[in-house]
Amino acid sequence: MSDANIREKYFVYHLTSVENLDGIFQEGLKPRASLENFTDVADSEILRKRKALNLDRYVPFHWFAANPFDGRVQLSRPKEKFVLISVFRSFAKQNDWKIIPRHPLADDAIQLLDYNAGFEAINWELMSTRDYQNPECKSVCMAECLSPEMVNPKNFSRIYAPNDEVSSLCEAKMRVAKLATPISVNPGMFL
């Protein structure tokens, strides 16, 4: 399977600051509307628009790592440490997650679809080109898979860290929370 064939991959990904892991490991990955004390990595203007569309009631995941959102967040916070939390796409499908087939703020009205319809609505061929200079491609690359409820840490498939230091920090936090999610170091998934 080619790395460019995003449609055939197994996971969806959520980028978060390492500072959020204690809360995530103890209480789960929650929708923004349910959060209080956390390090927010998203742009405040985008957050206002997401809230107006009630998208703050979902936990957003992307279809591949190092997408335009991940890149922007990491570039705007160069001293912060990040991890990617992955969940199996099959879990998302079984639990009736929703899909927005392009950037949720790309159009006046969002297209919030059931998993199967949303999966088929994504332009996978365009997404796989990852041409961020092409506005349409960039928008498709920011398609989202949305959990309508908290994602329990026992349902995380793997956590990806950019280096051994962050991996060790994750392992320590997981020991405290009594979790055993696999961790992989993969610098290629980060800037």
Which residues are identified as catalytic? 50, 144
In whole angstroms, give the CA distance from residue 12 to residue 60. Answer: 9
Q: Residue 23 annotated as binding?
A: yes
Contact call for residues 92 and 149 (beta carbons, < 8 A): no
In whole angstroms, give the CA distance from residue 28 to residue 22. Answer: 10
Q: Residue 16 annotated as binding?
A: yes
Q: Residue 15 annotated as binding?
A: yes
CA dihedral for 47, 41, 179, 156, sign (positive or negative): positive
Contact call for residues 32 and 47 (beta carbons, < 8 A): yes
| Tokens at 27, concatenated | 């209480």
In whole angstroms, give the CA distance from residue 138 to residue 170. Answer: 31
Q: What is the DSSP letter of 159?
A: E
Nearest to 15 by CA among 84, 96, 103, 106: 84
Q: Residue 188 annotated as binding?
A: no
Q: Residue 32 annotated as binding?
A: no
Provide the annotated binding site for NAD(+). Answer: 14-16, 23, 50
